[in-house]
Structure formats: structure tokens, C-alpha cells
């Protein structure tokens, strides 16, 4: 039996106060915010998440997409993924975000899923989702059976000897390429966290996935003003054409002048333990002609530090081809 708090529009502070009573905002939290529920309720049915108390935040006033004074975009935490993907400003100025969201899950799930919930979705590692198995992320110190077991879909970048789980979100990859900022309200006030610092590498503490502390409520995400004339694309490769997580994906935002790349933002999905921005690929692209050889060099640079597991070495070449193809397709548009 769970205690259930249904928050009304003016109740953000109350929601934070209730959630601050939990011992952690990470794995094992005994109070959870409930948004679309498409991750949380799944994991509760599997007993992977066992919060004693749920705080429904759907009525809080965070369901708007608005322009910011600097010409960027403010996306409320409870904006549904579908509403965001089809928002006219997102389609016009941040197409990579729209494409990434629409590449994920199914129409029904996107109608429920929210910005903050997507940001905080959990790994699909099969051992994490099976309480009969050990898993360092679910129960610290019990071991990581994926390293010697089934790891075909897991990460090749940012892994540790404690955990090799992939961050499964498509939206997060686009947010990384767009240099989004996550805004958090907690017991000590508000703070703005660049997306690259929001998710943590597993290291020795894979149960700790983000910088969130007890009580922290994601209120919104902001995007910087769009880059004029940028070419954007999200490409997702997976085992079947829809309703499947990425084996490898790439989000690219490029600016060209006289056939050369003048600015590049590149992020990868499906291969990293967190949404994987690649400064190496970006540096390899800037100043280079927009042609196949440059794209391949950028892809090599992006995957240089990749470490395969027993079943997923194929992902390294797949991710390289995914990125090179995304760069090629984006620059043809
Ligand atoms: C069958 C299936 C297929 C899927 N396929 C894909 C896919 O291909 N690509 C993809 O990217 N995703 C996929 N997903 C995942 C889906 O995108 C996420 O489940 C969804 O985005 C989560 O959003 P939600 O609002 O439902 O989150 P919830 O389940 O409500 O919450 C998720 C977590 O975020 C926390 N939370 C929510 N809002 C806040 C807030 N404002 N502040 C702090 N914490 C908060 C909750 O407490 C919880 O821990 C799939 C899911 C399913 C079930
Ligand atoms: S990869 Fe991470 S989530 Fe999967 S079993 Fe290992 S510790 Fe658990």
C-alpha cells in the first residue's frame, strides 16, 4: 500500500517538502514524484522501485512550452513528449529534438510521458529489471552479472567495472546536442544544471544516476536560442523499425559555410552510460569540408575510447556508421 499525494497547481513547495523526507532521490527512494508513470509504475510492478509514498505532480503548473527572453525555449517538466515533439517552435528551430522524441516508444507512451520523466527514465538492462538477479545499480555491492552475461544492448562508452548499463533515452541525446539546461527546485532554492552535468557516470556508485538530492523537483528545461541556418538530424538504429530502444543513435546540429563545417554539436545514444556528447567528434569536424572522409574521421574520434563487452563489439562500428550517416544526411538537407 502506498501513500498518495495529489498536488494542486500551487503546491510545488509542498511537493518538495514531502519528497525531502526521502533518504535518497536515487535508487531506493521511498518518496517518488509521479509524472506520466510510464517508467515508475513499470518498475513498481517489477518491485524494482518500492516507494512508500507517491507525489502526483501532474497538476503543477509545468505543462507549458514558452519562449525565453533571450530567444531560447523553456519546456515545462510535465509537458508531454507528444506535445513537445509537435510544438511548432520545436519543429521549426529544434528539429533534432522533435525527431528524437518521435523515434522513441509509441504514440500512446509519448502521450503520457513527460519531459522530466524522460530525462529521468531508468536503464533497460535486463538484470536491473529482474529482482531475482544481482545488480549493483539496484542493490549496491551485489555485483554486475551483465559484464559476463547478456550485454548485447549495453554501453561501450563511460562504463566501469561496477556497471555497463546504457542510458536509454532518445530525447536526452538531442538535449545534449542542443546544450540544454535542467532547472531544479529543492529545499535550498533553485539551480540550473547543464545537461552534460545532470547525469553521472556509474563509477563505483551506479545506483547514483543524477545530481538530484532528496526533495529536488525538476521544474523545466531550457534550450539556448536556435543557431541560425543550422542543419539538424536525429538518426536511430535499432533491432526493429519502431517501439524499440536504440542500439546506436546520433544527434547532430551543424552549421556550414562554403562547404565547410563552422560549428558542430554531436551526441550519441545507445552506446553510453549517460547521454554522450562528443567534443572529440565536434573538434574533428570544425573547419573540415562537409564530406564523407571528414564524417568518418569524426566518427572514429567519437568512438576512440569505446570499450566493448563480450557481446556488443558490433556497436562500435554501428555507432560510427550511424554518426557518419547522420552527418552526411544532415548536410545534404
Ligand atoms: C514499452 C516502452 C518502450 C519505450 N521505448 C522508448 C524508446 O524507444 N526511447 C525512449 O527514449 N524512451 C522509451 N521509453 C521510455 C519512456 O520514454 C519513459 O518511460 C518516459 O519518458 C518517462 O516519462 P514519465 O513522465 O512517464 O515518467 P515517470 O515514470 O512518471 O517518472 C520517471 C522518473 O522520473 C521521476 N520524475 C518525474 N518527473 C519528475 C520531476 N519533475 N522532478 C523530479 N523527478 C521526476 C519519477 O519520480 C521517476 O523516478 C519506453 C517506455 C516503455 C514502457
Ligand atoms: S550493467 Fe548496471 S544495471 Fe545492468 S546488471 Fe550491471 S550493475 Fe546492474
pLDDT (tens digit per residue) in 64-122: 999 999 999 999 999 999 999 999 999 999 999 999 999 999 999 999 999 999 999 99
- Name residue 231's beta-bridge partners: 254
Residue 31 has pLDDT above 90, yes or no: yes
Is any ligand 2 atom within 6 A of the Cβ of residue 128?
yes
Residue 2 has pLDDT above 80, yes or no: no
- The DSSP-derived string for 235-296 is EEE-SSSSS---SEEEEEEEEEETTEEEEEEEEEESSBSS-EE-HHHHHHHTTSBSSHHHHH
CA distances from 57 to 34, 119, 149, 172 (A): 6, 15, 38, 21
> How much of the chain exceeds pLDDT 90, in percent?
98
Tens of pLDDT, residue by residue over 238-293, are 999 889 999 999 999 999 999 999 999 999 999 999 999 999 999 999 999 999 99
Tens of pLDDT, residue by residue over 126-176, are 999 999 999 999 999 999 999 999 999 999 999 999 999 999 999 999 999
Tens of pLDDT, residue by residue over 131-142, are 999 999 999 999
Tens of pLDDT, residue by residue over 299-308, are 999 999 999 9
pLDDT score for 317 = 98
Mean pLDDT of the chain: 97
Is any ligand 1 atom within 6 A of the Cβ of residue 42?
yes
pLDDT score for 333 = 78
pLDDT score for 1 = 55
Q: Which residue among 5, 32, 37, 40 has the greatest number of ligand 1 atoms within 8 angstroms of its CB, and so is best to mutate?
A: 40
Amino acid at each position: 500500500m502506498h501513500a498518495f499525494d495529489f498536488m494542486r497547481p500551487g503546491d510545488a513547495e509542498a511537493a518538495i517538502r514531502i519528497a525531502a523526507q526521502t533518504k535518497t532521490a536515487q535508487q531506493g527512494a521511498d518518496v517518488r514524484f509521479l509524472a506520466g508513470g510510464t517508467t515508475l509504475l513499470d518498475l513498481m510492478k517489477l518491485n524494482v522501485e518500492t516507494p512508500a509514498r507517491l507525489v502526483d505532480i501532474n497538476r503543477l503548473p509545468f505543462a507549458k512550452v514558452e519562449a525565453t527572453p533571450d530567444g531560447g525555449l523553456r519546456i515545462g517538466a510535465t509537458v508531454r513528449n507528444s506535445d513537445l515533439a509537435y510544438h511548432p517552435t520545436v519543429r521549426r528551430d529544434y528539429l533534432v529534438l522533435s525527431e528524437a522524441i518521435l523515434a522513441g516508444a509509441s504514440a500512446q507512451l509519448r502521450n503520457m510521458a513527460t519531459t522530466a520523466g524522460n530525462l529521468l527514465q531508468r536503464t533497460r538492462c535486463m538484470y536491473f529489471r529482474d529482482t531475482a538477479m544481482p545488480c549493483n545499480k539496484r542493490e549496491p555491492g551485489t555485483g554486475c552479472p551483465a559484464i559476463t552475461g547478456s550485454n548485447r544492448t549495453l554501453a561501450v562508452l563511460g562504463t566501469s567495472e561496477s556497471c555497463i548499463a546504457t542510458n536509454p533515452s532518445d530525447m536526452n541525446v538531442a538535449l545534449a546536442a542542443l546544450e540544454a539546461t535542467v532547472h531544479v527546485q529543492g529545499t535550498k532554492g533553485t539551480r540550473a544544471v547543464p545537461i552534460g552535468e545532470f547525469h553521472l557516470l556509474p563509477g563505483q556508485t551506479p545506483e547514483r544516476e543524477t545530481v538530484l538530492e532528496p526533495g529536488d523537483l525538476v521544474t523545466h528545461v531550457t534550450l539556448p536560442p536556435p543557431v541560425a541556418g543550422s542543419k539538424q538530424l536525429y538518426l536511430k538504429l535499432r533491432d526493429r523499425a519502431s517501439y524499440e530502444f536504440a542500439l546506436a543513435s546520433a544527434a547532430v546540429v551543424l552549421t556550414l559555410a562554403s562547404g565547410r563545417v563552422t560549428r558542430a554539436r554531436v551526441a550519441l545514444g545507445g552506446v553510453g552510460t549517460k547521454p554522450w556528447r562528443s567534443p572529440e567528434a565536434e573538434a574533428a569536424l570544425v573547419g573540415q569540408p562537409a564530406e564523407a572522409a571528414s564524417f568518418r574521421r569524426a566518427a572514429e574520434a567519437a568512438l576512440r575510447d569505446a570499450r566493448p563487452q563480450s557481446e556488443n563489439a558490433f556497436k562500435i562500428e554501428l555507432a560510427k556508421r550511424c554518426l557518419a550517416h547522420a552527418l552526411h544526411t544532415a548536410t545534404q538537407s
